[in-house]
Structure 1
Amino acid sequence: MSEKFEWGDHCLEPIHLAGWGEHQSTTEAQAYCSSIANAHYENFIIVNKFTPKDIKQHIENIYAFCRYGDDLGDEAPFDTTGRMALLQAWEDDLEEAAKDGWSGSPAHPILKAIQITSKQFNIPLEPYWKLIQAFKMDQNKTRYSTWEELKQYCSFSADPVGHLFLYVYGHDDEELRQISDNTCTALQLANHWQDISRDWTQDRSYIPQETLEKFGINWEQYDKCVATDSWREMLSFEVDRAQRLFDAGKDLWPRVNPHLAVDLMMFTKGGEAILKSIRKQRFDTWTKRPKVSKIQQAILFFKAKRAWSRAAKSARRA
């Protein structure tokens, strides 16, 4: 039997995924997803007290799928070849799950739970598949030449999550998906700008090279990890771009299920809080990682509580 590696909440063997072949019941598979959703810290809580009870489990199933794939790509203690093998195994099992209208026989409990969610809300394979492709991209691609190239990456790494939320809340509409992409891409960018220092320790940068060149920054200067005047101007430019996308995404709020609108508000405000923290640090993300403070989180919570109350009243009138 091959050696096992313990990491985080998962146990992996080379080219095999934790949980395979255990034949969990539907209840056990979904409980597995809930445990993953409840075990990870995020800037904002994906499932919260405002999430409708009949949707909560499905959101946890989707989160577990996203989190687990991300962990396979970023946390598994293997080289690039080993991680790519794990991600390919994950993709193969996803395709098995999606057979015959999500009636296949996947080996992993998360994908058994995903079958339940995808059947109920008529979700296609594409958004799940795109997310896995993004995890694969991260194994080999560490630089982005242009904004368009980075945006294309976000269309795989972030935008599909918004599409999945729309499906779960009853919205199968291409126009709404396109508006949602603004919020998801903006949130991805906010997280990237928050983690500039961490990413660079892995020789990875998401700042487009064309942006660096625009402000006269080369890779030798980048590697000094110093917030020069040019650096601050450059990051201000990227923070403003993310803010414009957040603003464009707000057009979605009045057009969707009121409960989803509350989630969108929380995601947006959480992302904007990251941008605010970066501004407060005068765009120096090298000496200190920007964070959303406990006070900011509390303010977001009370704003969401008021919005949830309005959403509940709206739902009762509908």
Structure 2
Amino acid sequence: MNATAADTAADWASGKGHTDENFPVASKLVAPRFRAPIMAFYRFARLADDIADHETMPADQKLERLEVMRMGITGECEAEPSAVALRQVMAERGLDPVHALDLLEAFRRDVTKLRYGSWDELMDYCRYSANPVGRFVLDVHGEDRALWRANDALCTALQVINHLQDCGKDYRQLDRVYLPQDMLASAGARTAELREDQASPALLTVIQACAERTQHLLSDAAPFARRIRDRRLGVEVAVIQRLAVSLAARLRRRDPLSERVHHGKAEALLLASGAALGRFVRP
């Protein structure tokens, strides 16, 4: 294997940073002593995501690059700096590498699996693509792993919201569809409709049904922020929960192919402020 992944990382990096994400990443709400390991995990995940989503890199080359990253986590290879840096951070703090390795499984699927047959298949994908992120943050803070169930509900909801918001772009640019195929078939919708400038009534029915299921996930995650011991992390989770609830509700009313779903800065700030205040005053 050619383990020179770090030599041309700029060739496939999207340039996207943690402030460009749809939800907060290691915001100033998080205590400074925890930000470094979270950012190391983010940089690792960001690069793996950029590799999997690259529009022209051949699939076999993507898988090779992702394997180099895996070897960086396990200590078999030193070629990818972000993987080596994360491995060192995890070793210093006694953190489990399973979260990084699980995440790589999701990115391998992004390269090799372009359709999801059912909601259950999509949930299994989110088990690897979303849940490890929150689990890692909880481990960094020394939180009880009993919180993982609530974490998983929230992280999965965030992932599905991102999929629904970007469903048109994912199909047009990557031929990747996260809307369950059985739900599309039942509604009489065709995958190719994702290429249009406006969703058909059938396609909109599927998007709204997925948004409704996402709202159920968010209901399961509702107690999460209050159960976190670290007050600052609890506030950040409360903010993320509030933003997600708002977006899921919008996706039940708006067409992501033709209408803006993302929050504007003022909207996001207002929602975040209300959620933060609520978490601070609650015991």
Q: TM-score, normalising length from structure 1?
A: 0.77
Instruction: Please list, as runs of the form range in 1=range in 2, the aligned pairs for 1:204-215 lying within 5 A after superposition.
Output: 204-215=176-187
- 2:207: which partner in 1? 235
- Asked if structure 2 preserves the Cα contact closer than 8 Å seen for 1:195 and 1:289, the reply is no
| Residue equivalent to 2:11 | none
- Partners in 2 of 1:220 and 1:62 — Cα distance? 35
Matched, 1:168 2:140: yes
CA distance, structure 2, for counterparts of residue 226 and residue 165 of structure 1 = 38
CA–CA distance in structure 1, aligned partners of residues 192 and 65 of structure 2: 34
Q: Rate the CA distance shift 1:159–1:276 in 2: closer, same or farther, 3 A.
A: same
Q: CA shift at 1:109, angstroms?
A: 3.1
The correspondence of residues 224-303 of structure 1 with structure 2, limited to 5 A, is 224=196, 226-257=198-229, 258-281=231-254, 284-303=255-274
The size of the alignment, in residue pairs, is 274
Q: Structure 1, residues 39-67: CA drift from partner, whole Å, max 9, x if none?
A: 65012321222111111212211111111
Query: Which one has the largest radius of gyration?
Result: 1
Following superposition of structure 1 onto structure 2, how do residues 115-134 of structure 1 map, counting pairs within 5 Å? 115-134=87-106
Change (3 A) 1:238 1:92: same
Match of 1:79 in 2: 58
Q: Which amino acid aligns with 1:126?
A: V
Q: Specify the alignment match of 1:203 in structure 2.
A: 175
User: Partner of 1:43: helix, strand, or coil?
Assistant: coil
Gaps of 5+ in 2: 9-14
- SS of the aligned residue for 2:6 comes to coil
Q: 1:89 to 1:198 in 2, by over 3 A?
A: same
**Partner-residue secondary structure (3-state), 1:242:** helix
Name the aligned partner's letter for residue 16 of structure 1.
Answer: T
Q: Which amino acid aligns with 1:53?
A: P
Match of 2:116, SS? coil
Q: Aligned partners of 1:49, 1:239: CA distance in 2, in Å? A: 29
Q: Percent identity of the aligned residues? A: 25
1:151 corresponds to which of 123, 126, 129: 123
Q: Report what 1:16 is aligned to.
A: 4
C-alpha contact 2:69 2:83 (8 A) present in aligned 1: no
Decide whether aligned partners of structure 1 residues 108 and 140 sit closer, same or farther in structure 2, where only a CA change above 3 A counts.
Answer: closer
Does residue 187 of structure 1 match 2:147?
Answer: no
1:157-189: CA deviation from partner (whole Å, max 9, x where unpaired):
11111110110111242x321221100110000
Q: How far is the alpha carbon of 1:216 from its aligned partner?
A: 2.0
Aligned partner of 2:57: which letter?
F
Q: Is the 2:102–2:128 contact (alpha carbons within 8 Å) kept by the matching residues of 1?
A: yes
Q: 1:198 to 1:304 in 2, by over 3 A?
A: same
TM-score calculated relative to the size of structure 2: 0.86
Secondary structure of 1:18's counterpart equals helix
Task: Determine the C-alpha separation between the residues in 1 that align with 2:256 and 2:279.
Answer: 34
Alpha-carbon distance between aligned partners in 2 of 1:253 and 1:45, rounded to the nearest angstrom:
14
